[in-house]
Structures are given as structure tokens and as C-alpha cells.
Structure 1
Amino acid sequence: MKFLVIQQKRVGDVLTSTIICNNLKKKYPNATIDFMGYTNCVDVLIGNPNIDNVIVLSHKVRKNYFSLFKFIFEIRAKKYDVVIDVYNKLETNLITLFSGANTKIAYHKWYTTLFYTHNLKRIDNTMDTNYGFAIENRLLLLEPLNLDKSTIDPFPKLFVSPKENEDTISLFEQHKIDKNKKIIMISLLGSEQSKTYPLEYMAKVVEYVASHKDVTILFNYFESQIEDAKKIYNSCSKSTQEKIRFDLLGSDLRSFVAIMNNCDIIIGNDGGAINMAKALNKPSFTIFSPFIEKKNWATFEDGSKNISVHLNDYKPDLIKNVHHDEIKKNASSLYQQFTPELFKDRIEFFMDQNL
């Protein structure tokens, strides 16, 4: 048996979709399971024993019709039996259609019966969820394959090599991190402004975290975000700054994964860093943007190990019956209503539970 799982987009999406591969390999240990994604997400697939080959669909190929069709026929030559298209956009519609696979699975859209043999309607997000709808809907794509539900593992996983761990321990020693103190990662900034908690508010969150004695704080941010990261750092009190190792930063995605693997908890903006921390089985406290549907991405929420907060939890009237696009348009002003004082007690509870 040969399987192809397709998931383009961001790190969180890709990492979440690896649960499809994990469960397929459990059911079909001798099968070949390939994963197709964008270049920027390959690092979260490294070391996963349930993925045999990673196929990169580059931006250059996607934007050139000749290159795309050449790529499509290269996929066809691999002779997959089953294609599971989690992304379900035009380019992957075509890849799946011409793959030659007998079983082609995707989410239902009005036109998808042209491309797929199984078109599954996403779970109604008004229902209760044990795992978060981002997880539930991916598990839904396995239903046509009749896997034993009692054996399903819903948890994404990241894999860190001994060498990566050793390098991180050496890095911690260089930055004089006390092994006897708890290490807290702060997901400082979102992937875009509309997903970034206001800088002055995040500085207060860092202060709350630093108020716990015997902690060391690491910041997660991209090099391109360093000016905003400095603004938050400079807004912190001197005593808090002394607990922050501002310059201890992963040089790439793999080094971040290894650093996170040696931290105790993560707190901050929703995004790839939070999803990677959860895949490393680290407790997480997530601050969601007002326009993000919390039920989708508040995965494995249990009120203790994984906790999240959203404007809707505290001031639901501000976004009640307001269209998603309008909420996103006004994310900045809505964020201003979402002050850290509202959930200070939740952060303190989370830290008490997990440190």
C-alpha cells in the first residue's frame, strides 16, 4: 500500500496533519506513507518514523503551469493507492485527480466530487470536542479507511535527536542557565499583526511570569521581529530583565524545537510555537486573537495542562453575531479590550499547576 498525505500552509497545520500518518502507520506498518508540504514546514517532519518520504511542493513549481503539470505527472508515476488531501485547494485538487489513486479523500466543497472519491463534511463546530476541531477534522479523513477508533492516537508528535538535545544543553550552558530553575518559553509575537497580542500587554504577561521565583525566561521570535521583541524587553522591569535570556534564540526551526524540548512550559500567542510545544508534550497557555475560532485550535484543552484564553471568554458581547471578516478587520481595537488583567489569575493557576 502507498499513501500520500497532502497538507500545505503553516507549521501548525502541517504538524497537526501528521497524526494522519501516525495512525496510518500503526494500521499499515509495512505501507509507504509520504507527506507533501511547503518548503518552510519540512523541519517539523524530520525524524518522524511514520513518514517515509517528504515531498516538497515549492512556490516556484506552484506558480508555473508547466512546472506544476510536470510535478503532477511525477506524482502519478509513484502509483499511490490512497491520497488524503487535507489542503484541498486547486493545485492539490489537480494533483489528486491525476494521481491515479483509487481512493481519494478530502473535505467536502460544492465542486469536490469531481476530484475525490470520498468528500467528508467537516464536523459541526457547535458540537463539543475532546481534542479541538483542528484535530477532530483530520481524524475524520481517516474514516473511509475503517481504522479501529479505539486505537486512534490524536496527539501530534515531534522528534528530537540526541545530538540536537546535546547541542541545546551546551547552548544553555553558554548562556549560564541554571538547571535548577524552571525554563519558560514565551511565544512573544504572532505570525502576523492580527495574531499578535499588543506589545504593552505582552510585557505585562512577562512580568506575571517573572513574578514566580526560580524561573528563567526565553523569548521566541523571528529575526525580522527583533525590534518588537526589544520593545517588550525594554518595557519590563530590571528585575524581570535579569530573568530573560534575550539572545538565546534558535537559528532555525529545528533548533527551536530542540530548545523547546528543554523548556518546562510555554506561554503566549497562538501559532506554530504553541503547536510544536504541545507536540513535545509541554504544558501550554495560549492567548488567541479575537478573530481565531478558539474551538478549532484550542487543542487538548483540559483546564490544567493546556489552557487558553480568548476575548470571547470575557467580553462575548464585543464579537457576538459579528462576521469573522469584520472581527479580523478590527482585531487591533478588539485586542485593546482584552487586557492581561482579565486572565492574570489563569496564568498564575497554570504556572502553579505545571511548575
Structure 2
Amino acid sequence: MKVLVIQQKMIGDVLTSSILFEALRKKYPAARLDYLIHRHTAAVVEHNPFIDELILFDPIADQKPAAFFRFLKSIKKQKYDIVIDVYSKINTALITRFSDAKLRISYDKWYTRKAYTQTFKNKKKSETNAGLAIENRMQLLQAISPDFPVEIKPKIYLTSEEKEKAEQRLLADGIDLKEPLIMCGILGSSEAKTYPLPYMAQVLDFIVEKTGAQLLFNYIPKQVEAAGTLYDLCKPETQKQIFFDIFGTSLREFMAITSFCDALIGNEGGAVNMAKALDVPTFAIFSPQIKKQNWSIYENGTTNVSVHLADFSPTELDGLTVSEITKKAPELYKLLTPNLIFAKLETFLKSNSEIKNNL
């Protein structure tokens, strides 16, 4: 049996959808399981033992008509028995339909449903603390067999060499691994998904005041100016605890460094999902336009915690579309003041042993 799973989206989505491979491999050990993803997301699923091959799609080069047609032919040539399209957009629906697989599975959307042999409507309410992002993906496997589990936790597979290199980097740059170390998700994937920097500075000040933890910033070189602005907004006592020059120069290095952290705190997004997959406790600040019930994966009130404007002002977003909320994000974010977050954040810090020892 040959199975292709398609997830052409962001890092968090690719990581989350990788759970399908563990479920499929355990039920069908001899199956051929391939994963079609965007090239820049491959790092989060490298060394995954349940995936046979990564098929890397370049959204710029491969989307051109001639190149896309060649790509479609290459997929058809593989003669997949099953294609599971987790993305379910026009582009991936074409890939799925052109594959000629006998079983073509996806979500039920009016503009793509004709490409598939079986579709599923997204659940509206979660059955477990895994969250809807997990449960809706696992639901797709019901088209193959009814006895797949409801949920599986995403995992990241680091090599011993990657971990050793990260540890040596931290030690060489002055990190004391016997003291609390926190990765800070200081920036979202866009401005609309970024907690205001003056507010984030107050959050970092609070963490250092309560724990004396060492802080790392998650940013990439092109974001150094924004990271520097945040650093300048922090109190001098906090600045002393920030190791500004330690950051992952690649996604694999970021994950290896994060694996040594006692928590990741900051903007919800791919970094939070990666930390969860590494079993690192997380405290996530959701942007107003993201539905918390979809992406609060494995939230349990202790090791995985999150906050959202709707937690404190339940009616503030009523009647607004996602597009409208996104446009108003800067204004809405101002309502999620740090003082609203502090009580939940302090409970999180106290709930995680490596941090609370310094409280």
C-alpha cells in the first residue's frame, strides 16, 4: 500500500499533520508513506522514523504552469493507493485528483470536494485535550479504517549530534544549565500575530522578577531590529538575563537549543508547537484572530497553558469575521494587557519544577 499525505502550509501545520504517519505506520508496518510539504518546512519532520520520503514542493518554482504540470505527472507516476490532503486548497485538490489514487481523502469544502472520494466536516468541539487541530486530522484516517486512535501527540526527532552541539553552544556562551532557561517567542509570524512589544517587555520583566531565569530570544537575523527594540524596552535587570546573541541559525538548531529550555513563553505559533513536540512546557499568547480551541494543543493547565483576549473579554470579538479581527489586531491586542496575563503566568511558572525552584 502506498500513501501520500499532503500538507502545504506553515511549520506548525506540517508538524501537527505528521501524527498521521505514526498512526498509519503502527497499523500498516509495510506501507509506503510519503509526505508532500513545502521545502522550507522540512526541518520539523527530518529523521521522523514513520515517514519514508519527503516530497518537497517549491511554492515559487513548482507553481509555474509548466513546472506544476511536470510535478502532477511525477505524482501520478508514483501510483499511490491513498492520498490524504490535509490542506484542501485548489492547488492540493488538483494534485490529489491527478494522482488517480482510488481513495482520496480531505475536509469537506464546496470548492474542492469533487477532487476527493471521501470528505469530512471539521469537528466543532474537541473530545480530548489534544485540541481540534489534532482530532480533525486524525478523523481523516476514518476513511481508511474505523479503529485509529482519536489523538496522537506530534514529536520532533533530534539526533544526539544536534543536541550535543546545542549544549556546547549554550555552555560556551555562558548559559548555566543548572539554572532556569526560558525560550521567548518574542515575535509572531506576522505583525497581526505579534503581541505588542511594550507588553511583551512587561511579560519578560515579570518572568525575571519572579524567577531570575536566563532568557533566550527566538528570532531570525532579519528580525534583529525588532528583537533589539524589545530588549531596549525591558528593565535593566531583565536585560542582564537576556542572552541576545544566542539564537538558532537554522530551524534544526533552534529546536536543539529549545530542547534544553525549561519552558517556551511567548506568541502562539510554530515555535510553540515545536516546543510541545519536544516536551518543553509552553505558555502561549494567542493573537485575537486565531481560534484558541483549534490550536490549544494538549493544553492541560500546567505544562501547556495559553491566553487569548476571549478568555478575559468573551464578547469583544462577537460578530467579527477573521478578516475584520485581523485588521483590528493592533487595537484588540491593546485590550489584552499584561496585568490580565500575570496571574495565569505565575501559576504556570510555579507548576513547572525547573522554574519554580527559583520562585
Same fold judged by TM-score > 0.5? yes
State which of 167, 180, 183 in structure 2 corresponds to 1:182: 180
Which residue of the other structure, out of 233, 236, 260, is the alignment partner of 1:235? 233
Residue 225 of structure 1 corresponds to which residue in structure 2? 223
d(CA) in 2 for partners of 1:344, 1:228: 23
Give the aligned partner of residue 147 of structure 2. 148
Q: State the alpha-carbon separation in 2 of the partners of residues 25 and 275 from structure 1.
A: 22
1:280 is aligned to 2:278:
yes
Matches within 5 A, 1:1-355: 1-125=1-125, 129-149=128-148, 151=149, 153-354=151-352, 355=355
User: Among the aligned pairs, what percent are the same residue?
Assistant: 43
Q: Secondary structure at the match of 1:251?
A: coil
Asked if 2 retains the 8 angstrom alpha-carbon contact of 1:27 and 1:147, the reply is no
Taking the aligned partners of 1:214 and 1:197, their CA distance within structure 2 comes to 22
Shift of 1:22: 1.3
TM-score, normalisation: structure 1? 0.96
**For the residues of structure 1 that align with 2:114 and 2:310, how far apart are their CA atoms?**
39
Give, in angstroms, the shift of residue 109 of structure 1. 1.3
Gaps of 5+ in 1: none
> Offset of 1:113 from its aligned partner?
3.9
- Which runs of structure 1 show a deviation greater than 4 angstroms over 4 or more consecutive aligned residues? none
Q: Distance in 2 between matches of 1:321 and 1:261?
A: 40
CA shift, 1:30, in A, is 1.2
Runs of 5+ unmatched residues, structure 2: none
User: 1:275 Cα deviation (Å)?
Assistant: 0.5
Distance 2:110 2:212 in 1: 56
Determine the C-alpha separation between the residues in 1 that align with 2:116 and 2:68. Answer: 19
| TM-score using structure 2 length | 0.95
Cα distance, 1:228 vs. partner?
Answer: 1.1
Distance verdict in 2 for CA 1:180–1:113, change over 3 Å: closer
Letter in 2 for 1:98: F
Give distance in 2, aligned partners of 1:147 and 1:47: 29
Give SS of 1:316's match. Answer: coil
CA distance in 2: counterparts of 1:236 and 1:100, whole angstroms: 57
Secondary structure, counterpart of 2:315 in structure 1: helix
Mean CA deviation greater in 94-103 or 318-327: 318-327
Match of 1:337, SS state, is: coil
Q: Distance in 1 between matches of 2:64 and 2:151?
A: 38
Deviation at 1:60?
3.3
Deviation of 1:20 (Å)? 0.7
Partners of 1:286 and 1:308 within 8 A in 2: yes
Deviation at 1:152, TM superposition (A): 5.5
Letter in 2 for 1:159: Y
Cα contact 1:2–1:81 (8 A) shared by 2: yes
Q: Judge conservation of contact 2:90–2:112 (CA < 8 Å) in 1.
A: no
> 1:38, 1:112 → 2: CA distance?
20
Shift of 1:212: 3.0
Note the alpha carbon deviations across 1:170-206, whole angstroms, 9 max, x for none: 1011111112101111100001000000000000010
Amino acid at match of 2:52: D
Rounded to whole Å, the distance in 2 between the matches of 1:336 and 1:152 is 37
How far did residue 222 of structure 1 move?
Answer: 1.8
Q: Distance in 1 between matches of 2:295 and 2:208?
A: 27
- CA distance, structure 1, for counterparts of residue 212 and residue 233 of structure 2: 21
8 A Cα contact 2:286 2:292, kept in partner: yes
Are the counterparts in 2 of residues 132 and 297 from structure 1 also a CA contact under 8 Å?
yes
What whole-Å deviation, never above 9, does each CA across 1:251-310 have from its counterpart, x for those lacking one? 110100101111111110011100000010111100001111111111111111111000
| Contact 1:14–1:41 under 8 Å retained in 2 | yes
Provide the rounded CA distance (Å) in 1 between the counterparts of 2:207 and 2:27: 43
Deviations 1:198-242 (A, max 9, x none): 000000010111113452111101212111111111111222111
> Quick one: which amino acid aligns to residue 216 of structure 1?
Q
Kept after mapping to 2: 8 A contact 1:62/1:91: no
Residue pair 1:34, 1:54 contacting (<8 A) in 2 also? yes
